[in-house]
Amino acid sequence: MVNDMRFQPALSQVDSLLHASLIPLLDDNFEGFIEQRKVQQLLLTHHLTIDKLMLALLPIATSFSQPRISGFEVGAIALCDEGNLYMGANLELAQLPLNHSVHAEQSAISHAWLRGAKKLVKIAINYSPCGHCRQFINETFEGAETLIILPKREIAPLKQYLPYGFSPKDLGKTEQLLNSKAVDLHYDSEDPLVISAIDAANNSYAPYSGNYAGVALEMVDQRIFTGRVAENAAYNPSLMPMHVALSALNRSGYDCGDIQRAVLVESSDGKLSLANNSLDALHSVTEIELEHLVL
Ligand code: THU
Ligand code: ZN
């Protein structure tokens, strides 16, 4: 029996040989992150390859899914070059158009990004990645080489899933998602939530619009979740900062009803604003107001 009942149904879908190792990991603090040392321990103890381990853990990643519209659960696990595993799952927002959905791959990749990962080496998913996710992965540093791991399919690099892909280079950009440089937005504030949102905006990826943007959500227990915009060369597959933050909040097992403040920071030199998009997403899960700061 796992300490946190969130994971009990998922664990029953994982090879029982792994249970003894996973049970201590799946406690109330488990947010879908497994650090390199633990990953190596799992590989050695169970004589598994990393690909097999990632596939075996997919039910756990999928348990974070919140498909409020479709009921269709997708899970993904990213392996980055420092050897950590980052889980993600799809999130659909009730009462909103379908383009407010976060795909499992986007959730896993934004999870890795928030924790400082620089390069996506492999990603395991329980369904074949859609065109939009192929494009999203192609935005990351050396993304064409990222290996795609699927149940019952040969492992293959993204460039095989997305031949003749459109990429940041086509728009003359040398920066890529996961290895972009921080910007330097300034605002004098002692408010920890505002400071977190500015930090998120400074680490966001907005090479196309220049509208650097970050979100910070404060929970009733003072925990802060942040989200950053991740733009995409093909524009539409871009991931919005509120969606990144809500995805993180979901993985952590928090309840959206426990958000007590929300801040959006965006830069003023952009040709667009994420205010309406952020407000719509926020109001899909809670009625609190959005504090908006343009720097
Ligand atoms: N979905 C993913 O999460 N990844 C994919 O690449 C395929 C589709 C999700 C999006 C939506 O929540 C649901 O599956 C139905 O498309
Ligand atoms: Zn997708």
Among the bound ligands, name the one nearest to the CA of residue 148.
1
Verify that 160 and 209 share a domain, yes or no.
Answer: no
**Residue 221: inside a domain, yes or no?**
yes
The token duo for 47 is 């004589």
The per-residue pLDDT for 4 is 76
Q: Does a structural domain hold residue 119? A: yes
Q: The CATH number of the domain where 120 resides is what?
A: 3.40.140.10
Instruction: Give the separation between CA 208 and CA 153, rounded to whole angstroms.
Output: 35
Domain assignment of residue 103, given as a range: 27-171
Q: What is the pLDDT of residue 137?
A: 98
Positive/negative CA dihedral, 186, 190, 191, 196: positive
Catalytic residues: 105
State how far the Cα of 229 lies from the Cα of 63, in Å rounded to an integer.
25
CB atoms within 10 A of CB 4: 12
Stated length of the chain = 295
Mean pLDDT of the chain: 97
Domain C-terminal end among 171, 204, 220: 171
Residue 42 lies in a domain: yes
Q: Which residues have C-beta under 5 Å from ligand 2, the single-atom ion?
A: 103, 130, 132-133
Q: Are residues 74 and 196 in the same domain?
A: no
Ligand 1, from 64, 69, 72, 98: best to mutate by most atoms within 8 Å of Cβ?
A: 72
Domain-located, residue 18: no
Number of domains in the chain: 2
Residues 256 and 161 grouped into a single domain: no
pLDDT of residue 174: 92
**Which residue minimizes the CA distance to atom 10 of ligand 1?**
103
Neighbours of 280 (CB within 10 A): 17
pLDDT of residue 1: 66
For residue 30, name the pLDDT band (cuts at 50, 70, 90): very high
Summarize pLDDT for 74-89 with one digit per residue, the tens: 999 999 999 999 999 9
Q: Whose CA is nearest to atom 7 of ligand 1?
A: 130
Beta bridge partners of 92: 67
Q: Do residues 211 and 152 share a domain?
A: no
In 3D space, the residue among 223, 228, 224 whose CA is nearest the CA of residue 264 turns out to be 228
Query: Residues 201-223: pLDDT tens digits?
Result: 999 999 999 999 999 999 999 99
With a pLDDT cut of 90, the percent of the chain lying above it is 97
Beta strands in the chain (DSSP E): 33-34, 66-67, 75-80, 85-89, 91-92, 120-125, 147-149, 156-157, 213-219, 224-228, 259-266, 291-294
- 59 and 128 inside one domain: yes
Residue 59 has pLDDT above 80, yes or no: yes
pLDDT of residue 5: 86
| Distance from chain centroid for Cα 95 | 22
Residue 182 within a domain: no
**What backbone torsions phi and psi does residue 266 show, to the nearest 5 degrees?**
-140, 160
Tokens of 222: 């003072």
The pTM score is 0.98
Q: Give the DSSP letter string of 132-181.
A: HHHHHHTTBTTGGGPEEE-TTS--EEHHHHSTT---GGGGT----BTSPP
Question: Does 183 map to a domain?
Answer: no
Which residues sit with their C-beta closer than 6 Å to ligand 1?
67, 70, 72, 74, 90, 92, 101, 103-105, 127, 129-130, 133
Residue 47 — φ and ψ, nearest 5°?
Answer: 50, 50
pLDDT of 219-249, one tens digit each?
999 999 999 999 999 999 999 999 999 999 9
Residues 161 and 77 in one domain: yes
Best residue for ligand 1 mutational test, from 62, 68, 74, 87 (most atoms within 8 Å of Cβ)? 74
Backbone angles phi, psi at 177, to 5 degrees: -60, 135
Q: 68-82, 85-99, 127-141, 258-272 — which is least confidently predicted?
A: 258-272
Helix (H, G, I), strand (E, B) or coil at 219: strand
The reply to whether 69 and 202 lie within a common domain is: no
Residues 237 and 166 in one domain: no
pLDDT tens track for 120-152: 999 999 999 999 999 999 999 999 999 999 999
Is 44 strand, coil or helix? helix
The closest of 256, 247, 294 to 274, measured between CA atoms, is 294
Write down the pLDDT at residue 102.
98
Query: What pLDDT was estimated at residue 53?
Result: 98
Does residue 270 surpass a pLDDT of 80?
no
111 and 244 fall within a common domain: no
Confidence of residue 271 (pLDDT cuts 50, 70, 90): confident
- 84 and 203 in a single domain? The answer is no
Query: Is 3 part of a structural domain of the chain?
Result: no
Q: In this structure, are 218 and 147 located in the same domain?
A: no
Ligand 2: distance of its center to the CA of 137 in Å?
10
**Among 171, 205, 232, residue at a domain's last position:** 171
175: which residues sit within 8 A by CB, 6+ positions away? Answer: 168, 181, 205, 207
19 in a domain, yes or no? no
Coil, strand or helix: which one is 65?
coil
Same domain, 136 and 241: no
Residue 2 has pLDDT above 80, yes or no: no
